A and B are shown apart, each in its own frame.
Chain A
């Protein structure tokens, strides 16, 4: 028999000693309120209240699972009825008056809340704290014998459950069940059993409960809420499913003394139901068969149900009781021929350099069970708590692996990693005695959280690095927690902390400095918060906190830096409501981006504010533009002119004489247009000067057009164009000719030719050809279709490109002679 097997004497239950407790308790656990969190969590102790001297303040103490002190402080609040732990390792203290106080693992007060008026009036009789997928819940039995229940203390929704019929005093026992996504209470009143849910109280009977029982004195629900165990006053333990549909077994303990505690001891997927019942000095494991296993307890102990067993904590020791894992049983059973056992043997022989190793191996390989053997060894290693045993098993597995070609390495490698982490956290100084099964259930993220709660930052980071957790889920997260903790340390100066934080967090990915800064701000260190925000690379993240800290100018410039317009808007709108108008404008003035955004907003929403903004800046140019814009939105002429007058004033102030003069001209024009409109009934108001003149000329109001020409210093060229076009439009060729002779045309005479052609009057067009300047002669001739004339002119001017143009217009057949002449001329020109 090897050394490992000693623990396996009792058929299928293994008792592992986890720790010798590091605490030094005077009276052990006697007369104490004790609460130990599952998954190897911390332990809280509170000496029972001394009714006779209520002024004496008991000490509340928190220890790790190995009994190392984590916190200790005198209890100053009311009478505590119950202690318990939340899923995130916070301590819950339920007071008699229905108030719940929440402390963190290191004794820091977090918050408190009440379980409602009804509870505080009728006082708390009994409490149960339970965990479900929805978080940590609390169920309270009040002095009025009613149940009040909250499924999640982080999101309190109190439910008062229906009355239990015939309940005179406290029920003999009760438990909380989570079924069908609902929390229910199972109550025993004597031999009657009831299920309480939101709406009803339903009597139930466990199938096959032995008739001798007159009362159910104890009950417990398994970790998974799937199974239920009942203990009757006749000493029988009934075990079945928690929906009370099926009985698994019933065992007579033959002990009728009052029990202290009962718990399920069962691993997931195990077929064997087994419960642990504890009396004073005695522990009994009951299972499927009639046999029970007994342990003697020297000391007051408590049971802590776990996912895969029960932990037993006494004043001196901490043990884990669990069903022997299948793989371990196969391997360590005496004279086992399981492949894993053979592989272990083979490896042992191999170490001894004995040829027996080969024989064992051969035996396994013949049955082609080698991969099964390796798998068994790896799995068994996971269940072992002793590093030496783990190593032996893993070495055996690794040895076996050598003879397999295609064995996937993940399982082996994963297990080695997991075990390394588990051994580290099981260490006495850390004190988290997690089993591998629990670890897998809880996930690495949660484990890291727990390490962080205990402020074991270096270890947490080591774990993350070792398991190669993605940085922002692992290392960065730990560092963030560390920094949040760091900024609350009052004794250090802002500079030191800021520096320390920045140095540590420098190259970590995905750190949100703003979160850390928020923490600093919350603990009253605004200056530190601002310093920390400087490290935040995303300026967008800085803004909300800066606003909260009333650092609005900084918030505004950060928002602008972020380039996120929405953020700038957020700040601007916040400031608009927060500051008085003057200050607000002043602030915008220094921030052009914010100002232009706000102007955009005002353009659509608050025209007047826009004006005020320009006014404040003495931006007369913009004000002028503003009025001009306003003017053409007006329908009434008076208002229009009014706006323009304001614009003129502003332009003068802006020393923009050009704009001022132009605007004044516009006012004159408008007045002129209206006058004429009234006199002649011609639609004119709003036209440009050019359009006005066109209209006037087209209706024959030459005098008025002439007047505009003089008054507004219209350039001659424009006026000639206008006249020319207007006359051609009316086909008043006689007048046009007269006009052409009135004086020398400032636009030349080519336009005359072209305009006539445009109106298909070649005859008139020809009249002007002769007047065209020499440079434009060719063009003019071509325009009227006189190729010969064009040729003549081109040759005369000896211009090669013009000759070319004319040539391109000649057709070879009809203008044979001309083409020749042109070609000749071209040649001559080219020669020169």
Chain B
């Protein structure tokens, strides 16, 4: 990194253990169905599975052929079918149909469904209703966490966001709780837990119950603190365009399960190359958290260094040459390969991002964040829609506008919505309904009195007690809060000041110095104050539901200034972006601590909004 790093940053726990645990359990489950078998895998489990157990391992445990679950009739000659799936009703229904059609055909097979990370009663109900409950055996593969990198853990549950925040289906809450419990049982208990958001609270409750049921083990903890945060606490950050290298790569090429496929335009050959993006890749590791504008310079410097290293060959005698080939050449070659890939990627991104459109997009975003020249922004958005530039980007700008401006004026809302529908079709009526439900894109309510809203919101709020109704009010109030929050937490630096992106001075650098991610700022503040004292007003504006609990190990233990005390686990419920991870890394380096990010999935603006589309493709 360009900026100086504190030397005493604590080391990280070894998360590869989690992979080993998952692999062992999977093997155990596969062995439960002895003999040759065909394995059907849910499409979105393919990549995570590959990180746990590759094809060779699966073959060793008598998996004959591998298929992707496509919800179509199958061609398999095996007498034993094993399904490795997420607990989704659709998939289970498909399996039931499969079993029933085999029955009709008089074909006898053994079926085993392995649900991961857990079974749901609803799935078993489907098996029962379809009359195949007795024909299949079911199991659970408790594969809760996939370590994507040394400090990024993912639950790989992109549907968490939609299910929990839009559909009001809380079934993944226990999963998140179990994931925390797993971490705790492997790496020791935490001294303090903070959180904000309804879901965070429920996850904590579920985790606490697991703690109470299980045995209490006293061991040296490897983390100090845990911070749980709901995605809906901060929608602004994931809606912004990412400009830090890793985030940008994700926005443009879509990083999937920690690896990315670079197309021919990047590789400058005719085939695509799949690259793992993690700290093993030394080139990538140095640029991942850098603002994009610095990356090119860095890479060219790197290329020069590489050349120098190659040039050392000249004037070597045979012996030295031998040593060079044996020790360095391979490393240099590897570095060379990666370097050329990242240069290719940067070029390709540069081409896309230096275009007029992107510059204007960024300008609009920044204006929205600052609350500046809103009229012009609306005009720009309108043009954006009219020219059909990008379905998702238009939606993103609309949402940003709505959140930062506390909803759109009725006139603007209607006209923008109408234009959007003209551009992209009427099915987006449903998309708008969803966005409205989440509070992402709303019409300012002029005439409605508070009591009407109260009864409306009261329905949305699910808890029994009257106390929850106050939450409803604050959620009502929440909408107007971005400006106030931004002011109170100083999220938007004063405009006009030069911001040197090569020497970042705060987390705002991840958005070109225009905005400090709300989520990260919140974490910083809570860590600094060791709780919510002094942040009451902020918490209220964020719809309350904040908590801080002293955890399992005693305070005297916690006082021990071990490395572990400076490791903070941050769990994002509903996904987090690479920009947020970069911002937290920056914060960690500033404060001499380390942040480990646990997320239900890596997200970005496109994924977030795509999850809320309701057209034929996504249902």
By a beta-carbon cutoff of 8 Å, the part of chain A in contact with chain B is 538, 540, 557, 560-561, 563-567, 569-570, 573, 592-593, 596-597, 599-601, 604-605, 621, 625, 628-629, 632-633, 658-659, 662-663, 665-666, 686-691, 712, 714-715, 717-718, 721, 725, 747, 754
Instruction: Looking at the assembled complex, report how far the CB atom of B104 sits from the nearest CB atom of chain A, in whole angstroms.
Output: 21
Q: How far is the CA of A689 from the CA of B423 in the complex (A)?
A: 6
Q: Tell which of A593, A625, A658, A659 touches B170, judged by Cβ atoms closer than 8 Å.
A: A593
Within 8 A of A (CB), among B455-513: 459-462, 464
- Cross-chain contact A625 with B430 (CB below 8 angstroms): yes
Give the number of residue pairs across the A-B interface with Cβ within 8 Å: 126
A522 → B minimal CB distance (Å): 25
- On chain B, the residues within 8 Å of A658 by CB distance are 414, 417-418
> Once the chains are docked, how many angstroms separate the CA of A687 from the CA of B388?
13
In the complex the two chains form, what is the Cα distance from A605 to B96 in whole Å?
A: 13
B29 at the interface (CB under 8 A from A): no
Q: Are A625 and B433 in contact (CB under 8 A)?
A: yes
**In angstroms, how far is the closest chain A Cβ from the Cβ of B178?**
11
> In the complex, how many angstroms separate the beta carbon of A275 from the nearest chain B beta carbon?
47
User: Does B425 touch A at the CB level, under 8 Å?
Assistant: yes
Contact of A561 among B174, B429, B464 (CB under 8 A): B464
User: What are the residues of chain A within 8 A of B388 when measuring CB–CB?
Assistant: 690
Q: Determine if A718 and B422 form an interchain contact, defined as CB atoms under 8 angstroms apart.
A: yes
* Contact (Cβ within 8 A) A600 B169: yes
**Contact indicator B430/A629 (Cβ below 8 Å):** yes
Q: Within 8 Å CB of A718, what residues of B? A: 386, 419, 422-423
Q: Which residues of A contact B206 (CB under 8 A)?
A: 563-564
Q: Are A690 and B423 in touch, CB under 8 angstroms? A: yes
Can you list 5 pairs linking A and B with CB atoms under 8 Å apart? A563-B205, A593-B170, A658-B414, A717-B383, A721-B386
Q: How far, in Å, is B586 (CB) from chain A's closest CB?
A: 30
Q: Are B614 and A712 in contact, CB atoms less than 8 angstroms apart?
A: no
| Residues in A whose Cβ lies below 8 Å from that of B459 | 592
Residues of B within 8 A of A686 (CB): 425
Please tell me if the beta carbons of B386 and A717 are within 8 angstroms of each other in the complex: yes
Instruction: List B contacts of A659 (CB < 8 A).
Output: 429
Verify if B101 is at the interface (C-beta below 8 Å from A): no
| Contact pick for B429, options A565, A569, A605, A628, CB 8 Å | A628
Are A565 and B426 touching (Cβ within 8 A)?
Answer: no
Residues of B within 8 A of A573 (CB): 121, 125
Selected from A540, A596, A714, the residue in CB contact (under 8 A) with B168 is A596
Taking CB atoms and an 8 Å cut-off, the chain B residues in 178-212 that contact chain A are: 202, 205-206, 209
Interface centre among B129, B427, B615, by most chain A C-beta atoms within 10 angstroms, is: B427
Task: Please measure, in the bound complex, the distance between the C-alpha atom of A747 and the C-alpha atom of B464, giving whole angstroms.
Answer: 54
Contact of B169 among A538, A597, A688 (CB under 8 A): A597
Q: Please tell me if B358 contacts chain A, counting CB pairs below 8 Å.
A: no
Q: Which residue of B lies closest to A747 (CB)?
A: B383
Is A592 touching B616 in the complex (CB atoms < 8 A)?
no
Chain A proximity mask over B368-403: 1 for CB below 8 Å, otherwise 0 = 000000000000001100111000000000000000
Asked whether any CB of chain A lies closer than 8 Å to the CB of B109, the reply is no
- In the bound complex, what is the Cα–Cα distance between A569 and B129 (angstroms)? 14
A470 — nearest CB in chain B belongs to which residue?
B215
B126 interface residue (CB < 8 Å to A): yes
Smallest beta-carbon distance B536→chain A, Å: 26
- Return A597 CB to nearest CB of chain B, in Å: 6
Evaluate whether A688 and B423 lie within 8 angstroms (CB atoms) in the complex, with A563-B174, A605-B89 already known: yes
Residue of B nearest to A665 (CB): B426
Q: Are A565 and B462 touching (Cβ within 8 A)? A: no
Are the CB atoms of A592 and B168 closer together than 8 Å? yes
Q: Which residue of chain A has the shortest Cβ distance to B119 in the bound complex?
A: A566
- Smallest beta-carbon distance B471→chain A, Å: 14
For residue B382, which residue of chain A has the nearest CB? A717
User: How far is the CB of B435 from the nearest CB of chain A, in Å?
Assistant: 13
Chain B residues whose CB sits within 8 angstroms of the CB of A691 once the complex forms: 425
Which residues of B have CB within 8 Å of A564?
A: 174, 206
Which secondary structure dominates chain B's binding surface? helix
- Total B residues in contact with A, Cβ cutoff 8 Å: 50
CA distance A687 to B461 in the complex (A): 38
Asked whether B169 lies within 8 Å of A566 as measured between CB atoms, the reply is no
Q: Interface on B for A, CB 8 Å cutoff?
A: 89-90, 93, 120-122, 125-126, 129, 163, 167-171, 173-174, 202, 205-206, 209, 356, 382-383, 386-388, 414, 417-419, 421-427, 429-430, 433, 459-462, 464, 614-616, 619
Q: Is A600 a contact partner of B167 (Cβ separation < 8 A)?
A: yes
On chain A, the residues within 8 Å of B429 by CB distance are: 625, 628, 659, 662-663
Give the Cβ gap from A411 to chain B, nearest Cβ, in Å: 27
Contact residues in B for A540 (Cβ distance below 8 Å): 209
Complex: A687 Cα to B424 Cα, angstroms: 8
| Shortest beta-carbon distance from B377 to chain A in Å | 16
Q: Bound complex: CA of A718 vs CA of B418, how far in Å?
A: 12
* Apart from A628-B427, A686-B425, A754-B356, 19 more pairs, CB < 8 Å: A557-B464, A560-B464, A563-B174, A563-B202, A563-B205, A564-B174, A564-B206, A565-B169, A592-B168, A592-B460, A597-B122, A600-B169, A601-B89, A605-B89, A625-B429, A690-B388, A718-B422, A721-B383, A721-B387
Q: B89, B417, B422, B433: which contacts A621 (Cβ < 8 A)?
A: B433
Q: Which residues does chain A contribute within 8 Å of B209, judged by CB atoms?
A: 538, 540
Give the residues in chain A near B426, CB-CB below 8 Å.
628, 662-663, 665-666, 688
Cα of A341 to Cα of B509 in the assembled complex, Å: 85
Chain A residues within an 8 Å CB radius of B89:
600-601, 604-605
Whether A604 pairs with B93 at a CB distance below 8 angstroms is: yes
Q: Contact check: which of A593, A621, A662 meets B418 at CB < 8 Å?
A: A662
Known: A593-B170, A690-B424. A565 touches B430 (CB 8 A): no
Q: Is the CB of A715 within 8 A of B419?
A: yes
Complex CA gap A658/B408 in Å reads 15
User: Cβ of A717: which chain B residues have Cβ within 8 Å of it?
Assistant: 382-383, 386
* B419 and A569 within 8 A (CB): no
Residues of chain B contacted by A560 (CB below 8 angstroms): 462, 464
- Among residues of A, the one whose C-beta sits closest to the C-beta of B464 is A557
A812 to chain B, nearest CB (A): 21
Residue of A nearest to B616 (CB): A632
Could you tell me if A689 and B619 are in contact, using CB atoms closer than 8 angstroms?
Answer: no
Closest to A688 in B: B425
**A606 → B minimal CB distance (Å):** 10
B431, chain A: closest CB distance, angstroms: 10
The listed residue with most A CB atoms (<10 A of its CB), out of B126, B388, B422, B425, is B422
